Structure 1
Amino acid sequence: MVQFITDSSADLPKDLLEKYNIYIVPLSVQIEETQYLEGISITPPEFYQKMFSTDELPKTSQPSPSDFADLFTKLAEKEEEILCFTISSGLSGTYQSACLGKELSKTNVTIFDTLGGSLGHGLQILKAVELADKGWKLGDIIPVIEKIRDEMNILILLDTIENVVKGGRLSRFQGSIVKVLNIKVILEGINGKIEVLEKIRGNKRFFKRALNIIGERKADFSETVFGITHTGNFEDVEFLKTEIEKRYNPREIIINYMGATMGTYAGKGGTIISFY
């Protein structure tokens, strides 16, 4: 038996967390002067309502080592194998906090850096759970998840670069030029970090190109599970879901809100498509 832990940035739907008894260690987010625990003291719709109504970019923080240590100690009492997944170490200090938590608790926990975020992180957990349910031991599960991590595609579709400007990664002048020209940006998660993949003018070309990129990545999607997370842009997500089903006939498509961690940077109308 393997017990599973993840931080809250995996963006897994609540019903799946409950179904597979996956434990969560939440990241925190500060909006103006108020601190919240992602997914616990603030829901995604509440978070986006607050974020979209303020000029200040929310600040996200990783869990403390003691947050992990307390949970590791509690679960170690069951004398079962423990596997903890974290958001990419290239995006957050959460992985390091988990490693320090392991040292503090003096427990035999395996910490796995997913090198991903949102459902690019969450899909790795679901595969590990699937294997554990079939009776696989932890030592056999890890090589499979490492392979999936290497094969993971994470496409981040930015409808606006407003939060990128707020975060200081683009000047306001550059941001205004992008807005005037109606330029949309597709980013990609590569080796645990985010890089610009393409810049596209216009909504129709933007989504069409994203769908074509998916098709360029592999030929057979019949056993593929897609993860799509969003910041409340339901119409875009429904369009993408319908087109992916029509073009690629995948095994499953999981849809959920982006939590505060990823949503802070994706901004209004942001979408993340993950698959392997």
Structure 2
Amino acid sequence: MSQPVLELNGARLSRLLRAGIQRLLADREHLNRINVFPVADGDTGTNMALTMSAVLTSLRRAADDHAGTTLARAADAALDGARGNSGAILAQFLLGMGDSAASHAALSTAQFATAVTNGASYARESLSEPREGTVLTVITDFAAETARLAATGLHDYLSLFSQALHKARTSLQRTAEQLEELRAARVVDAGAQGFVDLLEGMLEHLHKDVDAEPAEALIHSADNEVTAGEVHDLSHRFCTECTITGDNIDRRRLREQLATLGSSLVLAGTARKAKIHIHVNDPAEVFFVASQFGVLTAQKADDMQRQQQAAHDRRRRVAIVTDSVADIPDELLDELGIHIVPLRIQFGEQSYLDKVGLSAQEFLAELVRNPQHPKTSQPPPGDFRRQFEILASHFDSVISIHVTGKVSGTHNAAQSAAGWVQRSNSIEVLDSFNVSIGQGLLAIRAAELASQGLNADQIMATIRKLIPLTRTYALIGSMEYAVRGGRVKPAVRSIANALSLSPVLATHPDGRIAPAGMLFGRRNRPDKLVRFIVSRMKRGESYRVGIGHADAEAGAHDLLEQLRRAHSKIESAYVMPLGSTLSVHGGPGTLVVGVQPAPSS
């Protein structure tokens, strides 16, 4: 029979939390499958797992016998790692517990109950529109029961957890009737289930031995479980998050300004560090408002419309991911379900998410206006990890196709992230040896094959054959921007201008982006570019073509017409605004052409 546990010092509390987190991590796929509120986008399990994994890492890194210090460390890690609605709520719950227990080296059941009650209050205050039937309800009911039990003089943690967990389980089952979305899908709230998982893991460890190290839990597969809910058109498409740090963040005013932008607002944290979670249509508005209150970091914006389509798409079993360097029309992204991980763009102190916080047109306008030349940086591995975790729980395989490793570390970041994912063996990361339009053509072809039902091995074999055959050519608008960015020396620009030379940049089979030739004279440059490209295409072969332009739409359409006249077998083509990767070096007027053998070839 288990010995009574009358108090929790920091070491014991750490072990209990780690045991609970292991239980939650084991259940992440099931949580993803039952996630229907507020959006059925299949990511609650991943978000809670990533949030609490940050806590797990922090607690493993350093032990402390002081309970209050342990809770403060857990709360800080949860805030930094918070993902999604439920993750932000959990972080705020731990923050409330930590503030209540700050001075206690060890917690009695009464002190623990007070801390839990304070945590529940913090969690509720973090939401702009609290809804019953969610994780918030179960946290509140658990807190009320622990307070009631502690008030009766119950001193044993084993008894306290056993009885309070029974109340939490009952509250969890009631969520299936409290929200229409849950009632229609016949499931309980996913975030609430995750919180109960956490409590169950803690109780199980109390039953075993509170002074023993918790074992790692086995991951529960949900392969045979149907994803609950249905796909709906969303009033707010992007799940947007960021972290603010400052000396005295006015959270009341910040909440007021954010509340006008969207829905599902959670504002967690303190006056020194705050985590924002909100659903909006324009993430840039959120980042702009947040930047007025402190230093902005950890921006992300997930496309929930695309995520919920992926979670419920039972026709294709391979998900395709790429980064924002790939230039793909929005309608094709939606039609083919291609998932994008954005790079970062930095204008001085101002940071943006590529194509999310800053559109192609907005980037070009800022490039011309701002005297500070922008810098781009690869997505952190955590962005890829989260995307891979979500998709791997809904698809048999994930193929991630990225900008050439010769110019960016994005491919390496994706590879690193894949190794951390639970189902890393189902994730393939490919270097496209390409950029922009060419990279986009490769991702499009992979997504088409996935929609036709091909498996990952078949898709990979086809794309590997296409990589050296897919080329991208760029005619920059002005060498001034390449000089500003340090890519070209001023003397080279002077010589080129004096001789009326226009270099044609191109991707090479080994992934380099380098000059492939020169156009002489300033007149009829598009005509000369067409001749240059067509001379490198096979006459009897069919091609797909994509053209990107930097504020030169008319010129791009003219270029396409000339290409069609010069080569009779262009099977399909698209024209779109050019992303930041090449326009940053060429400025307005830059034209980029991607060429790829058509499937019939």
**What TM-score range do you get, normalising by the shorter chain?**
over 0.9
CA deviations on 1:157-191 (whole Å, 9 max, x unpaired) are 12311122112232223323323443211111112
Count of residue correspondences: 276
Which structure 2 residues correspond to residues 241-252 of structure 1 after superposition, within 5 A? Answer: 241-249=560-568, 250-252=570-572
1:58-137 alignment, distance < 5 Å? 58-106=374-422, 107=424, 108-137=426-455
Q: How does 1:1-276 map to 2 (within 5 A)?
A: 1-106=317-422, 107=424, 108-190=426-508, 191-220=510-539, 223-249=542-568, 250-276=570-596
Distance 1:142 1:204 in 2: 43
Sequence identity percentage: 26
- The answer to which structure, 1 or 2, has the higher relative contact order (CA under 8 A, 6+ apart) is 1
For the residues of structure 2 that align with 1:176 and 1:223, how far apart are their CA atoms? 40
Deviation track 1:111-141 (CA, whole Å, cap 9, x = no partner) reads 0110101110010111112222222111111
- Out of 42-51 and 202-211, give the one that drifted further: 202-211
The alignment yields a C-alpha RMSD, in angstroms, of: 1.7
Matched residues in 1 for 2:545 and 2:512: separation? 20
Cα contact 1:5–1:22 (8 A) shared by 2: yes
Structure-2 change in CA distance of 1:103 and 1:25 (3 Å): same
Following the alignment from structure 1 to structure 2, what is the Cα–Cα distance between the partners of residues 39 and 23? 13
- Cα shift at 1:205: 4.7
From the superposition, tell whether residues 64 and 226 of structure 1 become closer, same or farther in structure 2 (CA, over 3 Å): same
Deviation at 1:91, TM superposition (A): 1.3
- Which is worse superposed, 114-123 or 133-142? 133-142
> TM-score if structure 1 supplies the norm length?
0.94
The structure that has the greater radius of gyration is 2
- Contact conserved, 1:66 with 1:104, CA < 8 A, in 2? no
Please state whether the residue corresponding to 1:251 is helix, strand or coil: strand
Q: Gaps spanning 5+ residues in structure 2: where? A: 1-316, 597-601
Contact 1:29 1:261 in 2 (8 A): no
Q: Give the C-alpha shift of residue 149 in structure 1.
A: 0.5
The farther-off stretch of 207-216 and 236-245 is 207-216
Once the two structures are overlaid, the 10-residue window that deviates more, 217-226 or 109-118, is: 217-226
Counterpart amino acid of residue 203 in structure 1: R
**Contact 2:475/2:591 (CA < 8 Å) preserved in 1?**
yes
Partner Cα distance (1:138, 1:53) in 2: 45
Contact preservation (8 Å) 1:85, 1:113? yes
Check whether the contact 2:401–2:432 (CA below 8 A) recurs between aligned residues. Answer: yes
Larger helix fraction of residues? 2
In the alignment, the residues of structure 1 paired with residue 356 and residue 395 of structure 2 have an alpha-carbon distance, to the nearest angstrom, of 28
| Cα distance change of structure 1 residues 26 and 51 upon mapping to structure 2, 3 Å threshold | same
Give runs of ≥4 in structure 1 deviating > 4 Å. Answer: none
Distance 1:224 1:17 in 2: 20
Residues in 2 aligned to 1:222 and 1:37: alpha-carbon distance in whole angstroms: 38
* C-alpha displacement of 1:259: 1.2
